[in-house]
Amino acid sequence: MVQDLEHIEDTITNSSFWEATKNFLGLHMNIGNDISISILDVIVIITAIFITTIVLRIVLKIMIRKIPEENKGKFGVVYGYFRWLVYIIIFLITLHSVGVNITAVFAASAALLIGIGLALQTLFQDIISGIFILIDQSVHVGDIIEIDGKVGRVEEIKLRTTRAVTIDNKVLVIPNHLYLENSLYNWTQNGNTTRESVEVGVAYGSDVQLVKKLLLQAANTNESVLSEPAPSVIFTNFGDSSLDFKVSFTIADSFKAQFPKSDIRFEIDRLFRENNVSIPFPQRDIHIIKT
């Protein structure tokens, strides 16, 4: 008899607990006049987002398993856009599944969305530009770019900005919308090698063949200059005060082009001094006419 009474009490207690839990989960929160959501609905939404996160991580690991290392960074950016799109779709589907009026959600948030859209036009431009970067593949991680007079190596392409590092190891944060408003120079889209040049003028009367020989020697002896294609010298102009030449050469790392170019200028100056080739400075003759 005692055991029966205890069993009845446990049953009543458990029944009361589950009834209280059910009532708690059934509590509704009203958002506006048309939107009502319960605590159970919130738990369902959180669970759906959590499961979606796990699934997306598994899918990412499977998809990048056979992707080359140099393309994983670019794929990661594309995956970032896709992930947020999936989250939005799952969120809306879950809301609809738990009985929330999606139309009412859009109607209630229309004014807010308009205000945010007007205030964040530049942000939207950045995001759209980021998508364009991925579609036309004009910029990749590791590329050396020049935009608005600034040069840097791309380290990361994010949803809103592109992060690059300059030759001085300064971080350059570029809003993506600038790609639509400015001319972009991609130094490495055709490969890491680039054709560089150093210009110099010599005095009138100099042996131009000797000048050509010395310029080629200065370029060929530099360790950073590639042998193929071979350096070349162009006689560019008869200047006002000098005969103008340009020595062109190819280097493997355009990001550090200023260093071999500086070394070649040092070598040109040394060779010219040894061979009595002078670099002139502008001169003007003044004739004074007495009246």
- Are residues 114 and 47 both part of a single domain? yes
| Residue 163 domain flag | yes
Confidence at residue 33, expressed as pLDDT on a 0 to 100 scale: 54
Confidence at residue 5, expressed as pLDDT on a 0 to 100 scale: 41
CA nearest to 150, candidates 129, 166, 127, 134 = 166
- Are residues 66 and 108 both part of a single domain? yes
- Are residues 179 and 207 both part of a single domain? no
Residues above pLDDT 70, as percent of the chain: 66
Confidence at residue 6, expressed as pLDDT on a 0 to 100 scale: 47
pLDDT band with cut points at 50, 70 and 90 for residue 1: very low
Rg (CA), the chain: 35
- Are residues 213 and 251 both part of a single domain? yes
| Residue 244 domain flag | yes
* pLDDT per residue as tens digits for the range 239-258: 888 899 999 998 887 777 88
| Residue 202 domain flag | yes
Confidence at residue 46, expressed as pLDDT on a 0 to 100 scale: 82
| Residue 284 domain flag | no
What count of residues does the chain have? 291
Confidence at residue 2, expressed as pLDDT on a 0 to 100 scale: 40
pLDDT band with cut points at 50, 70 and 90 for residue 275: very high
The mean pLDDT of 9-28, rounded to a whole number, is 55
- Are residues 182 and 199 both part of a single domain? no
- Are residues 84 and 19 both part of a single domain? yes
Q: How many domains does the chain have?
A: 3
Confidence at residue 4, expressed as pLDDT on a 0 to 100 scale: 46
- Are residues 33 and 87 both part of a single domain? yes
- Are residues 181 and 204 both part of a single domain? no
- Are residues 239 and 162 both part of a single domain? no
Averaged confidence pLDDT in the chain = 76
| Residue 5 domain flag | no
The mean pLDDT of 173-181, rounded to a whole number, is 80
pTM of model > 0.85: no
| Residue 98 domain flag | yes
- Are residues 30 and 100 both part of a single domain? yes
Which residue range(s) make up the domain with 88?
14-119
Q: For the chain, first and last CA: distance in Å? A: 143
CATH number of 179's domain: 2.30.30.60
Distances from the Cα of 200 to the Cα of 9, 139, 226, 278, angstroms: 102, 34, 21, 11
**Of 154, 170, 186, the domain-final residue:** 186
- Are residues 47 and 95 both part of a single domain? yes
* pLDDT per residue as tens digits for the range 43-102: 777 888 888 888 888 877 776 676 566 556 656 666 776 777 788 777 777 777 766 666
Confidence at residue 229, expressed as pLDDT on a 0 to 100 scale: 87
Whether residue 178 is predicted with pLDDT greater than 70 in this model: the reply is: yes
| Residue 215 domain flag | yes
Task: Give the separation between CA 229 and CA 191, rounded to whole angstroms.
Answer: 14
Question: Which residue has better confidence, 52 or 282?
Answer: 52
| Residue 131 domain flag | no
Least confidently predicted of 111-115, 219-223, 282-286:
111-115
CATH number of 228's domain: 3.30.70.100
- Are residues 180 and 200 both part of a single domain? no
Q: What is the DSSP string of 115-154?
A: HHHHHTHHHHHHHHHHHHHHHHT---TT-EEEETTEEEEE
CA nearest to 100, candidates 52, 50, 28 = 28
